[in-house]
A and B are shown apart, each in its own frame.
Chain A
Amino acid sequence: DAGVIQSPRHEVTEMGQEVTLRCKPISGHDYLFWYRQTMMRGLELLIYFNNNVPIDDSGMPEDRFSAKMPNASFSTLKIQPSEPRDSAVYFCASSFMGQGNTEAFFGQGTRLTVV
């Protein structure tokens, strides 16, 4: 397996524009996580899915953020409209939890810059 694949790797957009980040998890994994990482706040969990169903979105900062997982092999994180304070690295991670907690496999991340 190629691991967790995210696209794009870099995104520069103007304030007010819609941004869509994409993630393909590892095949067979039943959990998918979206994180945001900044120097000041570190890794923050935004939302996670179990078997394509959103379980906890309490980390989503505002209604401008939304996430979907239409099937087991694809998820999107959308920001509309984007603001400069959304600039960060966004990571997608997947896990196979089975009966207990296990490691998370991260993608390479998407570095988002909103100007």
Chain B
Amino acid sequence: SQKIEQNSEALNIQEGKTATLTCNYTNYSPAYLQWYRQDPGRGPVFLLLIRENEKEKRKERLKVTFDTTLKQSLFHITASQPADSATYLCALTSGNNRKLIWGLGTSLAVNP
């Protein structure tokens, strides 16, 4: 069955360091991969979308890579700040299918 795995353990890093979150998938050939941020008591908020033919996408301090051979996406936050503390979710969809398949998310804590 299709499966998406994200770091199950919370990630704690020091302010100013780079946070790297992982999203691995199996039995799936996604055309698009998206990353969202979710704060407690709120809905997910879109951050970045990367297509299967793109290797890397950047937006300000955020960078996403997409390796369809390894079936993995890495999400990087450079110069991290305490305000970056949240749960980060990856989601996949294929072709014309509008359904997003979601990971369980990774909790990130950036310590001042």
Interface residues of A (CB under 8 A from B): 4, 31, 33, 42-45, 48, 50, 55-56, 91, 93, 95, 97, 100-109
Contact = CB atoms under 8 A, between A and B. Distances in A.
A101 B43 contact: no
A104 B102 CA distance: 12
B98 A48 contact: yes
Interface of A is mostly: strand
B100 interface: yes
A107 B105 CA distance: 18
B89 A43 contact: yes
Contact of B98 (A97, A106, A107, A109): A97
A101 B89 contact: no
Contacts of B59: none
Given A101-B31, A103-B49, A45 B100 contact: yes
A22 to B, nearest CB: 15
